[in-house]
Amino acid sequence: MRELVLRAPDDLHVHFRSGPGMEGYVRRTAALFDRALPMPNTLPPLADADSVLAYARAARAAAPDLALVLSFKLLPGMSGR
């Protein structure tokens, strides 16, 4: 093999933040990558389904073509229930 072509790079550790700057971070990421895994350590942290889904809606509104790989933050006291 003499050549490796990355047709659609991924960013698997991106910080979009939350609040007013989020839209710009998401758009900048979408300009460079096709897929992104945003880190859940926002303030407040993405620690339940509702917060993750709301964050995803906001990110998708800023860059609808960016594929998101979603995660949540594990916090002390969480259980598997």
Tens digit of each residue's pLDDT (9 = 90 or more) over 20-51: 999 999 999 999 999 999 999 999 999 999 99
d(CA 18, CA 25): 10
**DSSP assignment, residue 45?**
-
Q: Residue 63 — pLDDT band, cuts 50, 70, 90?
A: very high
- Please state the rounded mean pLDDT for residues 13-17: 95
21 to each of 37, 62, 65, 74, 76, how far by Cα in Å?
A: 17, 11, 19, 24, 28
Q: Half-sphere exposure of residue 39, counting CA atoms within 13 Å on the CB side?
A: 10
Quick one: pLDDT at residue 9?
94
Whether residue 35 contacts residue 44, with contact meaning beta carbons closer than 8 Å, is answered with no
